[in-house]
Chains A and B, each alone.
Chain A
């Protein structure tokens, strides 16, 4: 029997109804829970993303390569215009009177400079004004203008040779919030987010106001995005106008405001915001923008300049002051008006700022790349320590040994010289630019090993093949000094060697070396053989000394390329790079002490932490006395030998040099040493075509043209003999001590103890000559 219980029925009905209601509620609750959990997880994920972006490596900062700084001191021969050009390259601007960093002013016999601040690897230099006074071509005095004290040395900051950009090609100067002037911050907030300090990341009032303004105007004239939203959009999201992106932007803005303080967000924004273009480089942040448009650090911006930068944020290219000055001026004044309306500036300040011109620098140069071959060489050297990704993103500052002035002169000398050769010699002209006559120049300081200039070819845009480093060419006679270096260990310069036909078995084939003029001179001194670059005596000497010994000497000097110990080695038949040849000659100029070539001096991170410092390194490899003997003969190359045409250039001081012409006339070399510099010039075709000119004809004029400018005004210096070197006046035909009867006399240098002691056997002294000698001795004593 079944009895119905209305209560149960009711209750079961309720149950049923409530069960019916519970399912959607449960589902809704579940869905809400899932959504809540999902959004929570997603928020956590976004928060993590934001946090890591804020706390970690925020921006890809390009690394910069710097030249060596310019040292100024009293007595330095330096043309004022050269200094001014350098200052202009360093973004200094000319003003009537210097008031702040980055300015210079011409004075009647001088120049006032207000130096930029600069962080060197070992110290920070603060901005300061200086006056440089000239007397003729030389600096007479340097005075610090604020203290009126004379300064012994003044360092002009180095030039940027190259910037390693990443794929995005962005440039920015990251600064702390304190570095931005208050009026700049006020100007930015006035036009971009006036309620920045009051909203939580989203500004509902701002959105409504923008909506209303845009509806009233019938076009989009105002955005409702807060600075936080703009930052999110620019740094984390893309510019797509989708609802999802907008929602995500708003959500992330809210999260970011919970995670970070207003100051941190503002600092990030001021460093992040896109501000225009410099050629293909995108400029980000107010710091870089200030330098781009006004040539000055952001801290020195005036009110109207700040207003212009703030105005540019909305559309940097539309308001670009160089292309659209009227629009830029209008936009700047709008910003100033907004500042006035918000009570941020007084009416007087507004009127004064509004009346001023834009004041931007006259032109914006796209960043040029100086010394491109040198920078490539540098990259190659640094690639193990700092791969390209690091160089493109870590903002390293690489200080090099390159002298930008010498580099410029070298580039000009090479191009001028090659053009001259093409003009004078029709067979050197080529229509195809890729097959043109080429050349390279390397300038070193032998005592330190510093690379001062490197020109790897005549046009980097056409070919990036760095002939200084990558080319392997026959040095020809430029190799001979190494043969003589080995030979002079147990010989003197006045010893004789035979210049007569010789036939040598060269891998089963007879080889008969000849001199360049196809003449044989009989007995010649070692000095003459080297000065006149005679092939036959050199081969004879090489065979006497032993080819392995010559190879060993060349290796100790820095020749690393593989060479076979063939007799033709003595005439430079092996292949070497200009770099290693120059390094080997540097040892000759450095009294037998080999300097390791240096291109990088130090590397710093963006915070000024020294990451690496490279030092001058020297190793004694050859006896200084033997080295001096070869150097002395190389001086003779210029005074009497194959490079005697150099005398016509009237260069100051002593010069030792060697010409080189390879087999078949494919390579023309000239390597010249002065007490302070070593410069190597190579001329040839990449494809190995015949140049058909000697080193003296093709490379020497380029060398002379370059050194004329380098040595201009420098003191006339000499190569000092090391201890253990003595001189004796000899008759070069006999090698004996010269007598009054000797028709030819030569003051020859010897290692102590190896000088001749007997008078010339061909012209023995007579009785009456003895009287003259006694008188001569007495005269010397009196003197």
Chain B
């Protein structure tokens, strides 16, 4: 509501100053009070995906607010990563699909599925997962860079080299330490 009279404006000004003070108090003391009274949200930290590329040292770990489904899904992803490292791709895909089914919002399931299908030489399947991983990882540049790399690899497999180059460039812009993207871009003559 907009104040129309002088009296209303005065009341409003007082209200504003009260709100201002209150907001300052909340800003200063709120976190302290919150920390004392509320339990910290449970999170689960997953290390960067070793199977996708060598983990860059400075890549932030991915932190999730964890539901039980997400925790169980991440457990399956850990097993899938082992399978990927041992090149048991079918088993890895099976585990990752199960992880996705358990927690459909798990971006790592999509990312590793893209990786597994790229390794298996089925880029048309990898593409969809890589694209969806990007949606879910959009606010995590390091991880998004890895998802873009996977999309680039899939696009290369589909002979769409120019688009792939664009993805690698974007991946490097987001995370300059992305060795795989750099190597692929160099191979495609983009560097």
Asked if A and B bind, the verdict is yes
Q: Which residues of A contact B134 (CB under 8 A)?
A: 723
In angstroms, Cα B127 to Cα A121, docked, is 26
**CB interface residues, A 152-172, toward B, < 8 Å:** 152-153
Binds B, one of A173-181, A183-191, A483-491, A767-775: A767-775
Which one of A591, A618, A778 contacts B129 once the chains associate, using CB atoms below 8 Å?
A: A618
Closest residue on chain B to residue A121 by CB atoms:
B94
Cβ-defined contact, B2 with A73, below 8 A: no
- The answer to whether A122 touches B104, judged by C-beta atoms less than 8 angstroms apart, is no
Q: Report the stretch among A5-13, A328-336, A445-453, A728-736 that lies at the interface.
A: A445-453
For B128, what are the chain A residues with a Cβ–Cβ distance below 8 Å? Answer: 593, 617-620
In the complex, whether B32 has a CB less than 8 A from a CB of chain A is no
B-to-A contact residues, CB < 8 Å:
2-3, 9, 16, 19-20, 23-24, 26-27, 67-69, 71-72, 75-76, 90-91, 93-94, 97-98, 100-102, 104-105, 113, 125, 127-129, 131-132, 134-136, 138-139
Smallest CB–CB gap between A615 and chain B, Å?
A: 7
Nearest-Cβ distance from residue B149 to partner chain A, whole angstroms: 17
Minimum CB–CB distance for A108 against chain B, Å: 22
* Residue numbers in A under 8 Å from B76 (CB-CB): 153
- In the assembly, what is the distance between CA of A77 and CA of B72, in Å? 13
- B135–A74 touching, CB < 8 Å: no
Contact B9 A723 (CB under 8 A): no
What CA separation (Å) do A75 and B135 show in the bound complex? 27
Asked whether, in the complex, the Cβ of B72 is within 8 Å of the Cβ of A71, the reply is: yes
Q: What does the 1/0 interface line of A113-124 toward B look like (CB < 8 Å)? A: 000000001100
B98 proximity list for chain A (CB < 8 A)? 71
Report yes or no: B9 in contact with A768, Cβ–Cβ below 8 A.
yes
A20 within 8 A of B: no
Q: If A122-B94, A619-B128 touch, does A723 touch B135 (CB 8 Å cutoff)?
A: yes
Is A239 an interface residue when CB atoms closer than 8 A count as contact?
no
Enumerate chain A residues within 8 angstroms of B100, measured Cβ to Cβ: 447-448, 616
Q: Which 9 A-B pairs have the closest CB atoms?
A: A75-B68, A618-B128, A447-B104, A723-B138, A73-B72, A715-B67, A152-B75, A722-B135, A741-B2
Judging by beta carbons under 8 Å apart, are B68 and A73 in contact? yes
Interface membership of A782, Cβ < 8 A = yes
Residue of A nearest to B9 (CB): A768
Residues in chain A near residue B94, CB distance under 8 A: 121-122, 613
Residue of A nearest to B76 (CB): A153
Indicate which residue in B26, B131, B136 contacts A620 across the interface (CB closer than 8 Å): B131
Q: Which residues of B contact A613 (CB under 8 A)?
A: 90, 94
A675/B72 contact (C-beta < 8 A), A591-B132, A624-B135, A740-B2 known: no
A333 → chain B closest CB, angstroms = 50
Given contacts A73-B72, A153-B72, whether A615 and B135 have CB atoms under 8 Å apart is no
* A148 contacts across to B, CB distance below 8 A: none
B97-A122 in contact (CB<8A): no
Q: A122-B91, A447-B100, A618-B128 are in contact. Are A783 and B23 (CB under 8 A)?
A: yes
Q: Which chain A residue shows the least CB distance to B23?
A: A779
For B27, the chain A residues whose CB sits under 8 A away are: 782-783
* Residues 601-622 (chain A) with a chain B CB within 8 angstroms: 613, 615-620
Contacts of A619 in B (CB 8 A): 127-128
Contact of A75 among B67, B113, B131 (CB under 8 A): B67
Across the interface, name the chain B residue whose C-beta is closest to A617.
B125
Minimum Cβ distance to chain B for residue A771 (Å): 8
Chain B minimum-CB-distance residue to A725: B138
Instruction: Say whether A76 contacts B16, CB under 8 Å.
Output: no
Query: Separation in Å of the A710 CB from the closest CB of chain B?
Result: 13
Known: A74-B71, A782-B24. 14 other contacts (CB 8 A): A73-B71, A75-B72, A122-B91, A152-B72, A152-B75, A153-B75, A593-B128, A618-B127, A619-B128, A715-B67, A715-B69, A722-B135, A779-B20, A779-B23
- Interface set, chain A 684-700, CB cutoff 8 A to B: none
Query: Does B104 contact A615, Cβ atoms closer than 8 Å?
Result: no
For residue A650, CB closer than 8 A to chain B, the reply is no
Contact in complex: A448, B101 (CB < 8 Å): yes
A246: interface (CB < 8 Å): no
